[in-house]
Structure 1
Amino acid sequence: MQRPRFELPEALVMEILSKLPVKSLTRFNCVCKYWCSSFQTPYFISNNYHNNLNLLLSLCGGNTFQRYFSQLSNEKYQNYIVKQNIHLPFFKHDRPSVYGACHGLLCLLDPSKDKAAIWNPSTREFKILPPSSIQRPPYFSPFDETYLTLDDVEFNHAAFGFDSKTDDYKVIRFVTLTFVNSEEEYPHPHFMYQVELYSLRSNSWKEIPSPDYKPTEKTLGNNYVDGICYWKTGTGAYLDFRGLILSFDMGNEKFSILPIPEFVGSFPEYYVNLLVFNRSLGAIVYPKERIDTSFDLWVTSEGVWTKQFNIKSISGVVHLLGFGKNGDLFLTDTNDEVLLFDASTQELKELEINTYLDHYRFDISLHAYLESLVRINGIQEIEKHVIRQPARDASNEY
């Protein structure tokens, strides 16, 4: 006797599929045209990218001093391992930095060149952004009574986010123009600043009014929360220095200034690193002049800052990298080894991460992103640029 055929409703099938990782969904594209088209609907994409958090280590070093990215996974043995190492061919001779993550997409930019890209590490799609078409204004020096020569252009303190009003992804970057008197033997530099905004929808850059304040430091991992980007800035000289937070709304394209919270204390004596923690703006605060350093994490909600936890004195820690899953804090020591601090147990351990640059590496940063099917009308990575070199006891599968 033939058993009756049982079919699940399509809505339930899509709900089940939305829980799967991007790797599986990519394979299922060939099952049928309906599945393939359904995977690209805004509803399905939004359901999918909220599920799977991934971590990406950005490292520079080796014999060629090139930038590599190591995807981390803690699915096996409850320990962080390298899932794969990736070298991006479109930055072959450059050293790009990651400036933010949004909806599973990462923005990469080389500060020394007019070169940027948007990258989806889950689908391996990337889009190289067009060069800026914005005019660089001349600089007239009243002292020299002449126009100066443009000597250098730097692209720093970028951010990447989403404008929900126009359904558009945008990149903002601060441009520093250096002018000199070319007739002087030892010319004194003069600086001018511009701000550029890229729209993925129009695939073009435009200049927007520059704020009175400039970002002073790069943030930890990501500085974008719910349509707004944040940077640390300040005003005044050393003893009179006052810390501030510069923000930019991707929707109305306006800058604002927020005060650094009073809990910081005497600002020159403390480091304050902005970061995203549990989808909220956070600040890691720690003293500058101590060998064994303790950390306080503060998070803001609707303008109110609350202390999340304190990490007691940790000896030998040099740099903070950021947070992973379940509040795990990543750090580096004096040997550039990556450490993991478990806030719940107050335990610190060396991860012994096996990366492509084990013998010599520097400029390490950590970036958290959600797996995503979002398409950016780009091109596909070449498989040969994925270097499979997992840590000990890890599977070679990807």
Structure 2
Amino acid sequence: MQRPRFELPEALVMEILSKLPVKSLTRFNCVCKYWCSSFQTPHFISNNYHNNLENNNLNLLLSRCDGNTFQPYLSQLSNEKDQNYIVKQNIHLPFFEDDSPSVYGACHGLLCLFDSSKDKAAIWNPSTREFKILPPSSIQRPPYFSPFEETYLTLDDVSFNDAAFGFDSKTDDYKFIRFVTLTFVNSEEEYAHPDFIYQVELYSLRSNSWKEIPYPDYNPNGKTLGNNYVDGICYWKTETGAYLDFRGLILSFDMRNDKFSVLPIPEFVGSFPEYYVDLLVFNGSLGAIVYPLQRIDTSFDLWVTSEGVWTKQFNIKSIPGVVHPLGFGKNGDLFLRDANDEVLVFDASTQELKELEINTYLDHHRFAISLHTYLESLVHINGIQEVEKYVIRQPTRNASNEY
């Protein structure tokens, strides 16, 4: 006698599938048309992302630069402590040639890669392997009339500086913002004194275009650790005053209304010029790692803000030989770089410091080393699948992180 066929309700099937990794869902696209179309709905994409968020399924990328070939690449690390954060694969970025791109985000699993030396940027979903090159800026850069020299100056250089990538929930749009410096000179003078004009350019994924917005009263300075975007707002360090009257500030930009504002850096920092203050995202909130400028053994204070109130999370005392923090991984592990450019990880729960067996002998560009985290996501960006002239993935040869 044939047993009756038991079928689960489609809603329950979709709920179960939404808990699977993106790699599995990509394979299941070919099971049937209904599944394929369901995986592309905003509801399913949101459920899958929030399941990863609840389970803290962080993926780790170490941004690096090959000191021999000068090729930029990303090392994808395991996110399990028992594997000692080994390198699972190296991802090369031929699109950026011999320039090491800055990485912004992640926002809903998307990263923005930006070459600050050129007008070159791309949005990338490392989970679905979708890659979208941003169009060149169409914003006008008109001639500049110098009242001091009483003549029009020639545009000599365009440089791109600090940036951020985030989401505008008001228009359901992903945006990329960058600061631009225009250098003008008098071409008729042999030793011309440069004049600088500043712009802010904002890219919209929805319109696939750029626009200019008013420049704020403050210039961002100093890089952030990994992500500088939290809940619709981007953050940078800035400053005001001379050395003896020096004050650190936080410049913010709201993606929902395209407006800048300024926040004070709290008093816990102490004498600002004597300390490094690195902004970062910690457990979904804006945080700041504070550590002394002059030191032999480095101690770190982590502060996190919630509704404008800063709270000290923990202090790490006297780590010898550490040069710079890189950011946080899973379960509050703090990644660090030492004087020999080796990557270390500090376990806050056990107070243990471990050296990761990650070869950095090719990483002669120490400031190109940075850590980035993202959650898997099915978000579409109207791009193309990774191709070798843009992205090349190479699995590591063995578990000792050789490549």
Q: Same fold (TM over 0.5)?
A: yes
**Residues in 2 aligned to 1:101 and 1:81: alpha-carbon distance in whole angstroms:** 21
Q: State which drifts further: 52-61 or 204-213.
A: 52-61
Matched, 1:218 2:217: no
For residue 48 of structure 2, what is the amino acid of its counterpart? N
Q: Please report how far the alpha carbon of residue 241 of structure 1 lies from its aligned counterpart in structure 2 after TM superposition.
A: 1.1
Matched, 1:332 2:337: yes
User: How many residue pairs end up in the alignment?
Assistant: 395
**Residues in 1 aligned to 2:400 and 2:13: alpha-carbon distance in whole angstroms:** 35
Structure 2 SS opposite 1:49: helix
Counterpart contact for 1:175–1:194, Cα < 8 Å:
yes
Q: State which drifts further: 137-146 or 312-321.
A: 137-146
Counterpart contact for 2:75–2:88, Cα < 8 Å:
yes
Deviations 1:242-273 (A, max 9, x none): 11110000011100110101111111111111
Matched, 1:206 2:200: no
Q: Please report how far the alpha carbon of residue 143 of structure 1 lies from its aligned counterpart in structure 2 after TM superposition.
A: 2.7
**Residues in 1 aligned to 2:372 and 2:185: alpha-carbon distance in whole angstroms:** 37
Q: Please report how far the alpha carbon of residue 353 of structure 1 lies from its aligned counterpart in structure 2 after TM superposition.
A: 1.8
Q: What TM-score, normalized by structure 2, do the two folds share?
A: 0.94
Q: Please report how far the alpha carbon of residue 12 of structure 1 lies from its aligned counterpart in structure 2 after TM superposition.
A: 1.4
Let me know the Cα RMSD of the aligned residues: 1.9
Counterpart contact for 1:124–1:381, Cα < 8 Å:
yes
For residue 163 of structure 2, what is the amino acid of its counterpart? A
Q: Pick one of 191, 197, 201 that aligns with 2:202.
A: 197
Q: Please report how far the alpha carbon of residue 2 of structure 1 lies from its aligned counterpart in structure 2 after TM superposition.
A: 2.7
Which blocks of at least 5 consecutive residues in structure 2 are unaligned? none
Matched, 1:60 2:65: yes
Instruction: Quote the residue 1:255 is aligned against.
Output: 260
The verdict on how the C-alpha distance between 1:393 and 1:241 changes in structure 2, with shifts beyond 3 A counting, is closer
Alignment of 1:167-316 (within 5 A): 167-316=172-321
Counterpart contact for 2:68–2:362, Cα < 8 Å:
no
Q: Please report how far the alpha carbon of residue 7 of structure 1 lies from its aligned counterpart in structure 2 after TM superposition.
A: 1.6
Instruction: Quote the residue 2:90 is aligned against.
Output: 85
Q: Please report how far the alpha carbon of residue 358 of structure 1 lies from its aligned counterpart in structure 2 after TM superposition.
A: 4.4
For residue 261 of structure 2, what is the amino acid of its counterpart? S
**Residues in 2 aligned to 1:375 and 1:284: alpha-carbon distance in whole angstroms:** 33
Structure 2 SS opposite 1:64: coil
Deviations 1:282-318 (A, max 9, x none): 0001110111010000000001000000011111111
Matched, 1:375 2:380: yes
Q: Pick one of 141, 148, 156 that aligns with 1:151.
A: 156
- Percent identity (aligned): 86
Q: Pick one of 90, 99, 103 that aligns with 1:94.
A: 99
For residue 18 of structure 1, what is the amino acid of its counterpart? S
The verdict on how the C-alpha distance between 1:268 and 1:82 changes in structure 2, with shifts beyond 3 A counting, is same
Structure 1 SS opposite 2:243: coil
Structure 2 SS opposite 1:77: helix
Alignment of 1:17-36 (within 5 A): 17-36=17-36
**Residues in 2 aligned to 1:189 and 1:127: alpha-carbon distance in whole angstroms:** 35
**Residues in 1 aligned to 2:222 and 2:362: alpha-carbon distance in whole angstroms:** 27
Matched, 1:392 2:399: yes
Q: State which drifts further: 75-84 or 99-108.
A: 75-84
Q: State which drifts further: 10-19 or 368-377.
A: 10-19
Structure 2 SS opposite 1:185: coil
Q: Please report how far the alpha carbon of residue 144 of structure 1 lies from its aligned counterpart in structure 2 after TM superposition.
A: 2.1
Q: What TM-score, normalized by structure 1, do the two folds share?
A: 0.95
For residue 321 of structure 2, what is the amino acid of its counterpart? G
